Structure 1
Amino acid sequence: MLAHWVRRILQATVYDVAIESPLDAAPRLSARFNNNILLKREDLQPVFSFKLRGAYNRISQLSPAERARGVITASAGNHAQGVAFSGQKLGIDTLIVMPQTTPDIKVSAVKRLGGNVILHGDSFDVAYRYALLRAEQDNRVYIPPYDDELVIAGQGTIAMEMLRQYRNLDYVFVAVGGGGLIAGIAAYLGEVAPHVKVIAVESNESACLKLALDTGERGTLPLVGLFADGVAVAQIGELPFDVVRLPKSDGSGPVVESDVVTCSTDEICAAIKDVFEENRSIVEPAGALAVAGMKKFIEQHGITNKNMAAIVCGANMNFDRLRYISERTELGEGREAIFAVSIPETIGAFLEFCRTLQGRSITEFNYRYNGNALAQVFVGIGLKNGVVERQEINDILTKKSYTVDDLSDDEIAKLHIRHLIGGHAGLSDERLFRFEFPERPNAFLSFLEKLGQDLNISLFHYRNHGAADGRVLVGLQTGTRTPEQLTHILDAIGYPYSDITDNVGYRLFLK
């Protein structure tokens, strides 16, 4: 079976449009992690992503009759640009259905490449269903983003190049969304170089391959985070899932290792900075995901003196996301910790607290007087020794009789609470919710209209970080309503939400 995939990859037509991307040394990462680390630079493709390979390989092999019908796809980003570029190259009419939440930079890029864009729906799933409907109505050929043999073969040419560029690889780390990229790479390496271990890396907010491998079937995630939007897929592709479980040619195991690495938003942000420090390129979150997974894998398994490559798979970054990424990088690198600390509400208490930190740098300090004997402060502290030092600080403060909560891993604290320190409201009927609003005009207006006059908004915090959905913190006074009545009201709004009233940061600083 793998021999079939190798033939398909060798026959791929990608080099009409794609470059053989360099496999660059990463000396800083190599020295830091005591391994020989290489970066496969797919961010340097003409559309700044590997997706061009699969899209062109599929479209270029259409029959003359199929080309005359035109093609259509659904995509919010890189696949859309790959299809548009391929259509322009081959003189084929392309229709791209994109969600209405797609950032203007990506819509403009597709149009610039000659694609005809239709904005439809608030999510990829809605756009996908509409694209299939239009394909049938208009008699167009639908070009899948990953669940297709020719698309997978196009992506597999990356592995062919890597073996030419560096024969002694031990590990290859691959970001996973729908699975087309890892299926093509693993199929080729599993047949030609079965000694190479292929490691799947997913965002912990969209780990659909991990779910499938753990359960043995292609389950669908109930909710997918959109920070790493290039891999934000709820269900692994059917064909990729079959491929990643195939046995290697030497019988040593499946072509993809069963131990999937999952990474947090902070870890991905830190990897974006790592890539920048190596080559001064700014890649998108999905593009840095393999690097984040490689770092985590090395640390978890204590691996040294191996040859490792990570696929830097894309660089279609919205500029307005950089502020958010920079803010989260220090936490992802283990160079900052954030704590909630109770200190005496007396003159000189801040000075004494700083002295207790034994010269460590304070990166953030939020406080507001509230008249009590104890003050709650939200403090960021610079670290030089990661998690170990975090625990040391916790122990030092506790020993000095401070009440301490480590908020470094609390998403609500990092995204919202740190910007809201202003005192307790003291509302007995307030409940706190986290909503996901689509990043489009009138989303807030729609929320308010559907909420109506039934509930009073007592707290609201939103910060744009360049994704298709915005994460919004909302406090609501529920009055005498039962939990069932409240659920009925909020479900009718139609935005995903969760009740986080028990969050420790909210309780300490805002409730």
Structure 2
Amino acid sequence: MNCPATHLDSVAVEADAPIGAAEVLARARSARVYDVARVSPLDEAPLLSARLTRRVLLKREDQQPVFSFKLRGAYNRMVQLDAGQRARGVIAASAGNHAQGVALAAARLGIQATIVMPVTAPQVKVDAVRRLGGNAVQIVLSGDSYSDAQATAAQLQAERGSLFVHPFDDIDVIAGQATVGLELLQQHPGPLQAVFVPVGGGGLLAGMAACIKSLRPEVQVIGVQMVDSDAMARSLEAGERVLLGEVGLFSDGTAVKQVGSLNFALCQRHVDAMLRVDTDEICAAIRDIYQETRSVPEPAGALALAGLKQYAAAHPPAEGALVAVVSGANMNFDRLRFVAERAELGEQREAIFAVTIPEERGSFRRFCAALGKHSITEFNYRIGDASSAHIFVGVQIASRDEREALVAAFQAQAFDVLDLTDDELAKLHLRHMIGGRSPLARDELLYRFEFPERPGALVRFLDQLHPDWNVSLFHYRNHGADYGRILVGIQVPAHELVLFQRFLASLGYPHRNESDHPAYRLLLGS
């Protein structure tokens, strides 16, 4: 998905910034981060540099002791607590990486910490918090997102009187994260065109932008967000902080519904542009980082590189290197299957088509001729009726031009073709379900649902399905992600549609009606 950049030079300012770049810079220079953090490498990326025809560098925050930059801000905040504050202990809310920083700081400084994490937090992060904090840390699992965990943490703070260590909206946390920018400038005094920074709540972007713009104002600072977790981009476009109703959970480290007020004000003044990327682009960037470093970043850790690649595709080469911050590597191993499946699509190296050919002698030969010498990545076939056959096919490609050429080749053979390469329903579900028309599936409605992935979640979903409506189609696959995705066909007579809509509202899960989806009508619908 090639989303246009949000350029910020003309964005209205919500209010005077409570802190300025000079203060961030001064605090960053005196930050105590190196009690626990290390100066992370700034590595060359030769494969990407050759492919993008410009110099690409990776700032390797995935090599920190907690495999994320977050310990910088957490420790810098906690090391400055006085004796009374330390005695009362601290509370934090985090999807995982900030939690690890707080846990390490608590153990090092002898402070008792309660850390609230979403139930959807990757197990690798929960285990790491427990290991790093030891007896100094109590873990509370609550809610499905960072915002839910934060609400629980606020309640506990009110009860206990402990200090809340915010993951991003705190000047000392921002200053700690800003040291990434200071290191980068010291490591690369030569020409820099742009620095790409992943964005959730905005602590890293605000701190790095304030320092880089103070010392090297000619360098562009560009934030990168997921298309479904773009609170900072929307806020900067609106000129005020925006609260998102829902956030995507694939990039759990940046799944924040509202950015911090300090972070927002600093980003308004010092960030040049924002980019949005999708899941496939992140998966492709994860693979790129692995090929360059043999390290596997988490989705948030690959956000910046996905944005860098999008930027490079839209802008001609210019003087100076492009730098992406690899912000973390706390990846659940079972998520790699999903990443591998989607990386080819994110790199536009695979195209997916549904092709209808006449059921007659020679048709299949003409179909194969239209494919030419392209490698087949997936092939599903089932006869449609006496006159036609439907084929679902995945094809390796080298560029978007090849994809368009394949469509033209199919059309030249008078085949009907649907290009499904950018179609989420096809990529998640239909590619695994080809050939399922049924004369018994009368009054079938097709819906997609998403729900937080946790033990027993699928069973609870099934328990809530109305017993009076027959389930005529069901597809679920565990993708190793933080949320499950289900495709359901439910037979609902026309006179019960109003009741069915009430049922959907009562479920409380995000859902989408796919009953008119063209690929469903072609391949599965009755």
Fold match, TM over 0.5? yes
Q: Please, which runs of 5 or more residues in structure 2 have no aligned partner?
A: 1-19
Partner residue, 1:119: 141
Task: Check conservation: 1:369, 1:423, Cα contact below 8 A.
Answer: no
Tell me the distance in 1 between the aligned counterparts of 2:306 and 2:411. 33
Tell me the distance in 2 between the aligned counterparts of 1:241 and 1:482. 47
Partner residue, 2:415: 402
Task: Check conservation: 1:229, 1:467, Cα contact below 8 A.
Answer: no
Q: Please, which runs of 5 or more residues in structure 1 have no aligned partner?
A: 247-254
Tell me the distance in 2 between the aligned counterparts of 1:207 and 1:245. 15
Shift of 1:218: 1.2
What pairs up with 1:330-369 in 2 under 5 angstroms? 330-369=344-383
Partner residue, 2:30: 11
Tell me the distance in 2 between the aligned counterparts of 1:67 and 1:449. 47
Partner residue, 1:456: 470
Given residue 72 of structure 1, which amino acid in structure 2 is its aligned partner?
Answer: I
Tell me the distance in 1 between the aligned counterparts of 2:345 and 2:513. 25
Given residue 168 of structure 2, which amino acid in structure 1 is its aligned partner?
Answer: Y
Task: Choose 469-478 or 120-129, whichever is displaced more.
Answer: 120-129
Task: Check conservation: 1:320, 1:466, Cα contact below 8 A.
Answer: yes
Tell me the distance in 2 between the aligned counterparts of 1:282 and 1:80. 20
Given residue 12 of structure 1, which amino acid in structure 2 is its aligned partner?
Answer: A
The answer to whether 1:290 aligns with 2:304 is: yes
Shift of 1:348: 4.4
Q: Give the number of the structure with larger relative contact order, counting CA–CA contacts within 8 Å between residues 6 or more apart.
A: 2
The answer to whether 1:162 aligns with 2:181 is: no
What pairs up with 1:186-335 in 2 under 5 angstroms? 186-246=209-269, 255-257=270-272, 259-335=273-349
Shift of 1:424: 1.2
Tell me the distance in 1 between the aligned counterparts of 2:352 and 2:50. 28
Given residue 514 of structure 2, which amino acid in structure 1 is its aligned partner?
Answer: I
Match of 2:391 among 364, 369, 377: 377
Task: Check conservation: 1:294, 1:310, Cα contact below 8 A.
Answer: yes
> TM-score when scaled to structure 2?
0.93
What pairs up with 1:140-151 in 2 under 5 angstroms? 140-151=162-173
State percent identity of aligned pairs. 51
Partner residue, 2:70: 51
Task: Check conservation: 1:152, 1:181, Cα contact below 8 A.
Answer: yes
1:112-160 Cα deviation digits (max 9, x unpaired): 1123111223333322111111011112111111111111100000010
Shift of 1:438: 1.8
1:287-307 Cα deviation digits (max 9, x unpaired): 011001001001112234431
Shift of 1:93: 0.9
Partner residue, 1:95: 114
Shift of 1:90: 0.7
Task: Check conservation: 2:61, 2:67, Cα contact below 8 A.
Answer: yes
Partner residue, 1:388: 401
Task: Choose 153-162 or 217-226, whichever is displaced more.
Answer: 217-226
Tell me the distance in 1 between the aligned counterparts of 2:323 and 2:162. 39
Given residue 256 of structure 1, which amino acid in structure 2 is its aligned partner?
Answer: V
Match of 2:492 among 478, 484, 490: 478
Task: Check conservation: 2:193, 2:319, Cα contact below 8 A.
Answer: no
Tell me the distance in 1 between the aligned counterparts of 2:247 and 2:307. 19
The answer to whether 1:41 aligns with 2:60 is: yes
Tell me the distance in 1 between the aligned counterparts of 2:290 and 2:176. 27
Task: Choose 498-507 or 88-97, whichever is displaced more.
Answer: 498-507
Tell me the distance in 2 between the aligned counterparts of 1:75 and 1:47. 14
Tell me the distance in 2 between the aligned counterparts of 1:305 and 1:4. 30
Tell me the distance in 1 between the aligned counterparts of 2:96 and 2:518. 37
Partner residue, 1:510: 524
Tell me the distance in 1 between the aligned counterparts of 2:359 and 2:169. 61
Partner residue, 1:494: 508
Task: Check conservation: 1:34, 1:305, Cα contact below 8 A.
Answer: no
Partner residue, 2:12: none
Shift of 1:344: 1.9
Tell me the distance in 2 between the aligned counterparts of 1:491 and 1:124. 24
Tell me the distance in 1 between the aligned counterparts of 2:426 and 2:382. 16
> TM-score when scaled to structure 1?
0.95
Tell me the distance in 2 between the aligned counterparts of 1:213 and 1:481. 46
Tell me the distance in 2 between the aligned counterparts of 1:388 and 1:340. 18
Task: Give the CA RMSD over aligned residues.
Answer: 1.4
Q: CA, structure 1 residues 486+52, in 2 after alignment: closer, same or farther (shift >3 Å)?
A: same
Task: Check conservation: 1:33, 1:304, Cα contact below 8 A.
Answer: no
Shift of 1:360: 1.3
Tell me the distance in 2 between the aligned counterparts of 1:462 and 1:344. 32
Given residue 521 of structure 2, which amino acid in structure 1 is its aligned partner?
Answer: R
Task: Choose 228-237 or 333-342, whichever is displaced more.
Answer: 228-237
1:69-118 Cα deviation digits (max 9, x unpaired): 11111112111111111111111111111222333322211111123111
Given residue 235 of structure 1, which amino acid in structure 2 is its aligned partner?
Answer: Q
Partner residue, 1:251: none
Tell me the distance in 1 between the aligned counterparts of 2:162 and 2:361. 74
The answer to whether 1:79 aligns with 2:102 is: no
Match of 2:46 among 27, 46, 54: 27
Shift of 1:423: 2.1
Task: Check conservation: 1:122, 1:438, Cα contact below 8 A.
Answer: yes
Shift of 1:450: 2.3
